[in-house]
Structure 1
């Protein structure tokens, strides 16, 4: 399975990397499916270096109708506009 990914958004919080939030536009070349993938990682340095890692996928329409207008939303809208210009 080949996945083509383009980063839409990345946010890193903390003086050390303690929390990351990334969104990608993903195209699965096998299933011909286009979707958004969100990865969230949180490092608890004071608890023996434990890492909580979550990945979620959603349809593009679901991602765009989420509350708020993040940098990821703006980048996806920009990409969509370039496809149809």
Structure 2
């Protein structure tokens, strides 16, 4: 009995599969990034809401402190 050999996939089909896999990988990465950033923002807002000081650390190591500001009165600027 002869071996059954299937026809190789078309190059266009392989290119489509590659494009679809790249698109899915990008979507997965963006969804994970969005979840992480949403969590970070929630932590910032929650901390400020509890009157806590929130520390933002930049990649270079610079530290920026965020605190809840008191409401300004008329004539104090910022309007």
Instruction: Give TM-score scaled by structure 1 length.
Output: 0.22
Which is bigger in relative contact order (C-alpha 8 A, separation at least 6)?
A: 1
Instruction: Give TM-score scaled by structure 2 length.
Output: 0.23
- Report the structure, 1 or 2, having the larger strand content: 1
- Report the structure, 1 or 2, having the larger helix content: 2
Structure whose CA Rg is larger = 2
